[in-house]
Amino acid sequence: MWIFIPNQQRFSFRWVFKEALPKLVPKWLTERVLFFMKDGDPQQRNEILSAMKTVFVNACEGTCGYHIVHMGWRTNVPSCVNILSPPKLRIWLFIVQQVHTWLYSWMTPGNVEDDEEYEISKYLLEKFICLQTVLDVVGEHRFLVYKVIKFLRGHVYTWETLYLHYLHNDVLHIDVSHLSAHEGTNHGLKSHSCAIKPIMNLDTSANTLNIQSSIKVKECEEIISQDAI
């Protein structure tokens, strides 16, 4: 379902989650919603949290890794394009890529699996950022390293209960870590149509899901008929 809203003010999100969805979606279906993936918009989040108390009572929340890492970095860590020389800038951009990959590893399966591993990973990440090699790259601009550490502690770790994959691995959320229409839809199609590994293309996956949906609709119709009787 796609719902287009006129703006990002709180009353618009309230209308979607408190008025529109309860009328468009039956109660037995809203109760089957298990996971909300959202960005960092506080207006949206507050209304989702409110709706989770009354409408989506079995759901938990997650947050978008892209908004935390890329958008947060863009806002809180200065650009080095006009600060570092071209050779050092290339190395710095490589370091930034490694940091981003490190952060995303916490949000995807197969990496950190409990609190202890996560704390070790955080400790090693900050050690990596403070390596002498990194300090040599930034040279006299060591404030960049300070800004990165401040960004991690002030704008990333604060959301760890929402982005850590191992905290949500018992909830069906298709391992989605980004609020991307394409990622969620495409990966969801492939994962649900091929349970072993999402290897089929989208056309094959869609056809498979259509068959599965037809079967499920018949099952739902039987359940509704029995309830009506």
pLDDT (tens digit per residue) in 26-85: 999 999 999 988 887 888 889 999 999 999 999 999 888 988 999 999 999 998 888 899
In angstroms, the CA 96 to CA 76 distance is 13
- Considering only CA atoms, which of 112, 100, 121 is closest in space to residue 169? 112
pLDDT at position 164? 94
pLDDT at position 186? 56
Mean pLDDT of 146-169: 93
Average pLDDT score over the chain: 85
Burial of 170-191, coded b for 16+ CB within 10 Å and e otherwise, reads eeebbbbbbbeeebbeebbbbb
The CA-to-CA distance between both ends of the chain, in Å, stands at 30
pLDDT at position 172? 79
Kindly tell me if the per-residue pLDDT of 195 is higher than 70. Answer: no
Backbone angles phi, psi at 108, to 5 degrees: -125, 155
pLDDT at position 196? 47
Backbone angles phi, psi at 201, to 5 degrees: -75, 175
Burial of 84-106, coded b for 16+ CB within 10 Å and e otherwise, reads beeebeeebeebeeebeebbbeb
In angstroms, the CA 209 to CA 204 distance is 9
Kindly tell me if the per-residue pLDDT of 88 is higher than 90. Answer: yes
- Considering only CA atoms, which of 15, 10, 55, 9 is closest in space to residue 36? 55
Residues 6 or more apart from 177 whose CB is under 8 A from it? 62, 64, 65, 104, 107, 108, 163, 165
pLDDT at position 162? 92
For 2: left if phi > 0, alpha if psi spans -120 to 50, otherwise beta; the answer is: beta
Mean pLDDT of 188-210: 62
Q: What does DSSP assign to residue 70?
A: I
In angstroms, the CA 73 to CA 104 distance is 13
How far lies 110's CA from each of 42, 175, 188, in Å? 30, 11, 18
